[in-house]
Amino acid sequence: MSKILKIENYKPQVGRLQTERGIKMIKEFFQQNLSTALNLHRVTGPLFVPSGTGINDDLNGTERAVKFPIKDLGDMKAEVVHSLAKWKRLTLAQYGFKPGYGIYTDMNAIRADEELDNLHSLYVDQWDWERVITKDDRTLDFLKYIVKQIYSALKRTEFMVFEAYPQIKPQLPDDIFFIHSEDLRKMFPGKTAKEREQLITREKGAVFIIGIGCPLGDGKPHDLRAPDYDDYSTVAENGLPGLNGDIMVWDDVLNVALELSSMGVRVDKKALLHQLKEAGKEDRERLYFHQRLLEGSLPLSIGGGIGQSRLCMYYLKKAHIGEIQASIWPEEMREECRKMNITLLVIGAFLRLCLCLMGKCAVRRKTFVSKSK
């Protein structure tokens, strides 16, 4: 069900053409800094993969992939990727990367089950990256080291934006704050996971929440993760489970905690078997990707995704991701955005024209919820 945050007195700080120029600058600058910081080589990633191989990602474990038959392959089914976490690990093995080196790619995806709002679109674009590690690197300290490298690239990019657009002031704190999801739960008893994210990110400005997917003291995970890519079960040196997490920053336009990246040390054989069993997904052990991992032909790795449109939205002080990327939005959302001086890109208008030409202007609309800021 679509929803939108209402923004009072919103005035874009950069115009439409300046926004397009800014998007190009941010993407080029950040990916160069990311690749340098983490020793990553750019590779070309797929838009779709064969169905039934376990290569596609299940994200939270429930999202449906967009599937289609391939005529020239006897109508074999393929599916549009959700992200490339597993494909990247296969690619590391194919290229033979050594520890300390890895890859990044421009990932484009369709997430048809996404609930549309200011931050979520059917279309997803992100930098997917993966780096080979050693057994000794599978620690919380190493995870924090990688997060700090990424955060430094975020800080440098923020200053570049300030130089190009002086009206947009830097706001990221000097350092990112680390906290485990269990400690966060204890810090704010009685609050939901999303409420806890809001409170800690508003206070600190930039936060890395550790342990996404593992059951907490109340028996519930902070958020869901599919059981076959991030290692959220291995007990780290802090005595708590989880070698993964999310980078959150405070968005002062929407007044929300904005997730820029989900990342982590990937499962080894032991963690994979344990997490599949706990999730009741042991049938996945027979799939191609899982077989490769279990037989030991895939390298140990760390990796994640960093949202491109979200990053641009954050740096350019936009109120809706549709100001950055072209996607399809409900007409009710477009109308609400117009009232708030938010201009969404034009694909939605083309959709409305197509529906009218097809005689479907009166097509039943989905329920739309306006949510106060």
Cβ–Cβ under 8 Å, residues 103 and 97: yes
Q: How far apart are CA 102 and CA 236, in angstroms?
A: 24
Q: Is 64 a catalytic residue?
A: no
Amino acid at the residue 187: M
Neighbours of 13 (CB within 10 A): 14
Q: How far apart are CA 92 and CA 206, in angstroms?
A: 30
Catalytic residue among 63, 114, 183, 259: 259
Cβ–Cβ under 8 Å, residues 329 and 344: yes
Q: How far apart are CA 260 and CA 199, in angstroms?
A: 17
Q: How far apart are CA 272 and CA 265, in angstroms?
A: 12
Cβ–Cβ under 8 Å, residues 61 and 226: yes
Catalytic residue among 31, 126, 198, 261: 126
SS3 category, 125:
strand
First-to-last CA distance in the chain?
A: 17
Compute CA distances 262 → 147, 341, 345, 372, whole Å. 11, 31, 26, 27
Catalytic residue among 2, 31, 57, 137: 57
Q: Is 58 a catalytic residue?
A: no
Q: Is 31 a catalytic residue?
A: no
Catalytic residue among 117, 158, 231, 246: 246
Q: Is 262 a catalytic residue?
A: yes
Strand ranges, E, within the chain: 2-5, 40-42, 48-50, 67-70, 76-80, 102-110, 123-132, 177-180, 206-210, 244-251, 256-265, 301-307, 368-371
Catalytic residue among 2, 31, 35, 111: 111
Q: How far apart are CA 55 and CA 85, in angstroms?
A: 8
Cβ–Cβ under 8 Å, residues 86 and 250: no
Catalytic residue among 35, 198, 262, 325: 262
Any idea which residues carry the catalytic annotation? 57, 111, 126, 246, 259, 262
